[in-house]
């Protein structure tokens, strides 16, 4: 018995180690490692118990016979468990970092304190990644008993990714009741904004302008926008088609989308739209190729001028994705703009017009080109039916060309002091990139959604500034690196080993 007891622990450790190792090999059936791990745990738990069985009869009598002792041990365990339950529930927490980088802002604490029900966050990251998100989520969970989070590797659990329609790493889905909010960057501002949106009863409407040959949301062919409408609804937006003359102007908190108008807007409609934009309404204009419906008058005051051309891309990269020259690939994005700051995936803009941004704009208006084509592209002004098409200096515009522009303006600078909400507009030289035929290609859908969430001011609801973290780069010279190596690998262990050797020699 004594011998068996001695080796129980060894068997336990071996079973546990082999089980854990096997669990890392994907081709091995999961039941074998699971069984080994369970066996290992059972043996490891059994070992101290079996050790007790090896006690001599008289010792055992003392050990087991004393009810007081047994009760005492149980009592101590219960007290410790209670202490830990209370300790986990009522915590004091100090962030000793220099900038308090793990401390949440008062705004976030207020939002967390007002959570009406449980919020569960599912973060989709590959194994071992997403440390920033984990740090931040840990702080949220530490501040609220109603906040929980879990990390999931979308490669290991594709069914979860499918359930939440996740196609990229780094997406986090905040769920409260039946409502979901998706966040793609791990900042306190984005997390708290997502919580505020979950709690808010208001829903942002995306209204599709109709009556001028625009693409329709119910059309399911490759030019239609039915998939876009479905994607918007998945993201928590509500969609509706609107006719300005019939329905009037939408609310300024909504987003009005002009999805490729092909006939001109009436002068009264143009005036209404201008008034809508000036009031702080959010406008998303997606253009059709030249000749357009004369939306230039609407865009010009904001510094955007669509050129009368079609972008051609001779780089040949698009052909890798099965695209022709008229489908330029876009892979250059403005890093300093909220829409594209974390965006790097390729997008495609078929039959796209290039946008020209004015050099000087009235005070308060800021127009930024956020996505551009490659240098091998140009804006073709001639007919696309010509037998040979090439770049003609003087006629065509040389690449890289702007395909997507974001404009924001401070309304107080424009003489409107009624609201502090800045006005916003996004102009795309193309609507096809968001149509059924192209929405799911590469990251087109993500780029569209980023534009929309910026327009709907979803990320700006809260305005928590990220904390500054000092202690950036540090470059070692070859000499310094060598010195550190000698110090930590040779000198420090050697300084301890030497007296050890002396002790050993003396003992001999």
Partner 1 sequence: MSKIGTIFLKEFKGYFLSPMAYVIITVFLLIGGFFFYVMISHFSMVSFQLAQYGYPESEININDMVLRPFSMNLSLILLMVIPMITMRLVAEERKSGTAELLLTAPVSPWHVILGKFLAAVGMIGVLALLSFAYPLICLLIGDPDPGPMLTSVLGLFLLGSAFVSCGLLASAASENQIVAAVATFGFLLLLWVVNWASIVTEGTLSNVLEYLSVLSHYEEFAKGIIDTKHIVFLLSLIFFPLFLSAQLLAARHGR
55 binds partner 1 (CB under 8 A): yes
Does residue 476 touch partner 1 according to CB under 8 A?
Answer: yes
304: exposed, middle or buried (Cβ count in 10 Å: 0-12, 13-18, 19+): buried
| Among 218, 360, 388, 504, contact with partner 1 (rule: CB under 8 A) | 504
- Residue 91 sits in the site that holds partner 1 (CB under 8 A): yes
41 near partner 1 (CB under 8 A): yes
d(CA 44, CA 50): 10
- Tell me which of 21, 78, 80, 266 binds partner 1, using CB under 8 A: 80
4-23 residues near partner 1, rule: CB under 8 A:
6-7, 9-10, 12-13, 16-17, 20
- Looking at the Cβ atoms of 93 and 246, the one nearer to partner 1 is 93
In the list 128, 267, 291, 471, the residue contacting partner 1 (rule: CB under 8 A) is: 471
Considering the complex, what minimum distance in angstroms separates the CB of residue 406 from partner 1? Answer: 22
Site pattern 222..261 for partner 1 (x: CB under 8 A): ----------------------------------------
Under the binding rule (CB under 8 A), the answer on residue 468 touching partner 1 is yes
C-alpha closest to that of 404 among 366, 448, 369: 369
Question: What are the residues facing 405 on neighbouring strands?
Answer: 369, 427
Least distance between partner 1 and beta carbon 93 (Å): 5
Q: Is 73 an interacting residue with respect to partner 1 (CB under 8 A)?
A: yes
Longest CA–CA separation in the chain, Å: 106
Any idea what DSSP says for residue 191?
A: H
Q: Which residues of 172-195 are buried (b: 16+ CB within 10 A; e: fewer)?
A: bbbbbeeebbbbbbbbbbbbbbbb
SS3 at position 105: coil
**CA proximity to 367, closest of 334, 330, 328:** 334
Among residues 21, 74, 84, 398, which is the contact residue for partner 1, using CB under 8 A?
A: 84
| Least distance (Å) between residue 202 CB and partner 1 | 33
E strands, 210-303, are 238-242, 255-259, 282-286
Figure out which of the listed residues 28, 69, 162, 384 binds partner 1, where binding follows CB under 8 A: 69
Which C-beta is closer to partner 1: that of 246 or that of 508? 508
Give, as ranges, the residues between 93 and 132 that touch partner 1 (CB under 8 A).
Answer: 93-99, 102, 131
**Least spacing, CB of residue 488 vs partner 1, in Å:** 3
For partner 1, the closer of residues 2 and 246 by Cβ is 2
User: Measured at the alpha carbon of residue 278, what is the angle toward residues 272 and 283, in degrees to the nearest 5?
Assistant: 75
Answer for which of 74, 76, 78, 275 binds partner 1 (CB under 8 A) is 76
Q: Annotate 380-426 with DSSP letters as a single string.
A: E-S-TTSSS----BTTBEESS-EEEEEEEE-TTTTT--S--PPEEEE
Smallest separation (angstroms) from partner 1 to the CB of 333: 16
Query: Which of the residues 130 through 169 are near partner 1 (CB under 8 A)?
Result: 131, 135, 138, 142
Short-list 224, 386, 406, 222, CA closest to 312:
386
């Amino acid at each position: 018995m004594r011998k068996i007891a001695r080796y129980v622990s060894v068997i336990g450790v071996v079973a546990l180690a082999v089980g854990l190792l096997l669990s890392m090999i994907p081709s091995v059936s999961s039941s074998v490692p699971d069984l080994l791990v369970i066996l290992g745990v059972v043996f490891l738990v059994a070992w101290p118990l079996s050790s007790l069985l090896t006690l001599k009869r008289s010792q055992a009598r003392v050990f087991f016979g004393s009810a007081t002792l047994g009760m005492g041990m149980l009592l101590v365990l219960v007290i410790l468990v209670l202490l830990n339950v209370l300790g986990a529930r009522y915590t004091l927490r100090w962030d000793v970092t220099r900038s308090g980088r793990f401390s949440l802002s008062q705004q976030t604490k207020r939002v967390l304190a007002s959570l009406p029900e449980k919020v569960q966050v599912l973060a989709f990251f590959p194994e071992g990644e997403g440390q920033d998100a984990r740090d931040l989520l840990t702080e949220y969970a530490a501040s609220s008993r109603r906040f929980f989070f879990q990390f999931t590797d979308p490669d290991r659990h594709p069914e979860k990714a499918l359930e939440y329609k996740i196609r990229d790493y780094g997406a986090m889905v905040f769920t409260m009741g039946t409502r979901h909010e998706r966040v793609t960057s791990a900042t306190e501002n984005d997390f708290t904004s997502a919580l505020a949106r979950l709690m808010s009863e208001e829903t942002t409407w995306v209204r599709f302008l109709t009556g001028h040959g625009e693409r329709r949301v119910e059309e399911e062919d490759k030019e239609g926008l039915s998939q876009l409408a479905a994607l918007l609804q998945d993201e928590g937006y509500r969609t509706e088609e609107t006719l300005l003359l019939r329905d009037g102007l939408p609310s300024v908190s909504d987003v009005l989308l002009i999805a490729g108008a092909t006939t001109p807007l009436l002068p009264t409609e143009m005036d209404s739209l201008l008034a809508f934009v000036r009031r702080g309404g959010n406008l998303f204009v997606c253009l059709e190729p030249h000749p357009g419906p004369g939306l230039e008058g609407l865009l010009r005051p904001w510094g955007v001028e669509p050129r009368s051309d079609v972008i051609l891309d001779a780089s040949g990269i698009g052909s890798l994705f099965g695209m022709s020259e008229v489908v330029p690939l876009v892979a250059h994005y403005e890093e300093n703009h909220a829409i594209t700051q974390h965006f790097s995936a390729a997008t495609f803009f078929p039959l796209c017009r290039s946008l020209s941004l004015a050099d000087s704009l009235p005070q308060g208006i800021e127009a930024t080109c956020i996505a551009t084509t490659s240098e091998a592209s140009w804006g073709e002004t001639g007919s696309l039916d010509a037998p040979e098409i090439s770049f003609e200096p003087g006629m065509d515009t040389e690449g890289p060309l702007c395909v997507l522009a974001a404009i924001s303006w401070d309304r107080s600078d424009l003489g409107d002091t009624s609201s502090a909400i800045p006005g916003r507009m996004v102009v795309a030289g193309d609507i096809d990139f968001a149509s059924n035929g192209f929405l799911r290609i590469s990251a087109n859908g993500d780029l569209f959604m980023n534009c929309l969430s910026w327009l709907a001011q979803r990320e700006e609801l809260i305005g928590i500034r990220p904390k500054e973290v000092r202690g950036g780069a540090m470059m070692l010279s070859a000499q310094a690196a060598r010195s550190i190596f000698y110090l930590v690998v040779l000198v420090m262990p050697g300084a301890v080993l030497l007296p050890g050797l002396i002790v050993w020699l003396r003992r001999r």
